[in-house]
Structure 1
Amino acid sequence: MSRQIKILLVDHQTLLRESLGSMLGAERDLAVVGCAVGGAEAVDLAVTVQPDVVIVDADRPEGVMETFMQLRVAVRDSRFLVLSSHDQPALLQELLALGISGYLTKSVTVLELVTAIRTVAARDGRVVLSVARASIERISRPDDESSLSRREKEILTRIADGLSNGQIARRLSISEGTVKRHVHSIFVKLGAVSRIDAVNKYSALQAGWVAAYESVS
């Protein structure tokens, strides 16, 4: 049997934590290695169990951003899925920029959630979303000029590989200034605020925004 995917649940509601933990634990390839209410408890537990996937509730009374940022620093190799009762385009855009691997509304089925967990744990760069199409279009297509040129796609691919502007310039036999201009154009077209944000948004677009299943409402 292959190694199980280790999951940490962060939710302030005990009943939901326990119910979700029980359902996910029934899958042979998944192991719920910890449950936390949030804050310091979640960080301490994450450092101890080193989860593959952290599922964070976005409906927490104090909000999700502070908890997510603390966890992101504590366990850099984990993948993050956010669960929310509502479509929140502004929050989704912020979290994508910070590197979450998925944002799902709580209307998804257990099968869809399990599929999302397996997808992000595979670490293939895909972003899993299950939100209204209008919310996706609002954050992903700010204008009609969002399609990337062939050269911009080449450069974005190399950004995803972790290359600097200078390394990209040498690889493509173009000047570093040209690379910088293309990177700026990529940011504008995708509405990106950073290199990782651009990679995440383009990966999500290429995957149809729902990488593992077609369930966008």
Structure 2
Amino acid sequence: MLSRQIKILLVDHQTLLRESLGAMLGAERDLTVVGCADWGEEAVRLTVQFQPHLIILDGDRPREVMETFARLRHAACDARFLVLSAHDQPTLLRELLARGISGYLMKSVTVLELVTAIRAVVARDGRVVLSVARTSLASLGRSPCDESGLSGREKEILDRIADGLSNGQIARRLAISEGTVKRHVHSVFVKLGAVSRIDAVNKYSGLRESGLVS
């Protein structure tokens, strides 16, 4: 057991789950739940205020978890992130691992398994804690795109967004429907954790400069 108190922030869209989980974790002598929040500004405010050692995120809504992770990672000076999900989502798992989460657990884990994972993650020995199906673990060894998780078409669209083209102009340039462009743009936002077209372009540029995009 760690000698210091582990400060934890819980971020989940279900009030009952937040409060129940908070009560269970707070019963551990080395764990302190400093706050419980829904998505959005409250989560950011509590992160800035308490600077938790660990932030536990609800992973049941892929778009929200990616956006929230990006915002809280910026707000937290030195926090680790652990995602709890009711679903085994290989694509989301791959994307989150590429962005630096320290754990991804199914909500079917026991309290003891969760507490053990929390202590392992905060121990800062480089461990990544996973509790998912074998098929999801196997998928991590495959790389259909690259570290960005973007498909070839999504990269094409990002390049044209960087050129200042609208969705309609991109659709005409690539000979696809505007609806298809919108779906790809939405996917890009989720994968990059972007909140705007400019943000997506900037994050994509950063990945290219770091050599994570082929």
Query: TM-score of the superposition, structure 1-length normalised?
Result: 0.64
Percent identical among aligned pairs is 71
Report the Cα offset of residue 142 of structure 1: 5.1
Structure-2 residue corresponding to 1:208: none
SS at match of 2:78: coil
Report the Cα offset of residue 61 of structure 1: 8.2
The CA distance in 1 between the partners of 2:38 and 2:135, in whole Å, is 32
Structure-1 residue corresponding to 2:87: 86
Structure-1 residue corresponding to 2:57: 56
The CA distance in 1 between the partners of 2:61 and 2:77, in whole Å, is 22
Structural mapping, 1:103-122, within 5 Å = 103-122=104-123
Q: Residue 11 of structure 1 contacts residue 60 of structure 1 at CA under 8 Å; is this kept in 2?
A: no
The CA distance in 1 between the partners of 2:28 and 2:19, in whole Å, is 15
Structure-2 residue corresponding to 1:124: 125
Q: What amino acid is the match of 1:14?
A: T
The CA distance in 1 between the partners of 2:96 and 2:42, in whole Å, is 21
Q: Residue 62 of structure 2 contacts residue 92 of structure 2 at CA under 8 Å; is this kept in 1?
A: no
Structural mapping, 1:2-151, within 5 Å = 2-60=3-61, 63-141=64-142
SS at match of 1:63: helix
The CA distance in 2 between the partners of 1:135 and 1:2, in whole Å, is 34
Q: What amino acid is the match of 2:72?
A: L
Report the Cα offset of residue 2 of structure 1: 2.6
SS at match of 2:64: coil
Q: Residue 47 of structure 1 contacts residue 75 of structure 1 at CA under 8 Å; is this kept in 2?
A: yes
Structure-2 residue corresponding to 1:151: none
Where structure 2 has 5 or more consecutive residues not aligned to the other structure, the ranges are 145-207
Q: Residue 58 of structure 1 contacts residue 83 of structure 1 at CA under 8 Å; is this kept in 2?
A: yes
Large movers: runs of 4+ above 6 Å: none
The CA distance in 2 between the partners of 1:14 and 1:61, in whole Å, is 19
Aligned length: 149
Q: Residue 9 of structure 1 contacts residue 21 of structure 1 at CA under 8 Å; is this kept in 2?
A: yes
Q: What amino acid is the match of 2:118?
A: I
Q: What amino acid is the match of 1:25?
A: G
Residue deviations 1:114-162, cap 9 Å, x none? 000000110111000000011110122459xxxxxxxxxxxxxxxxxxx
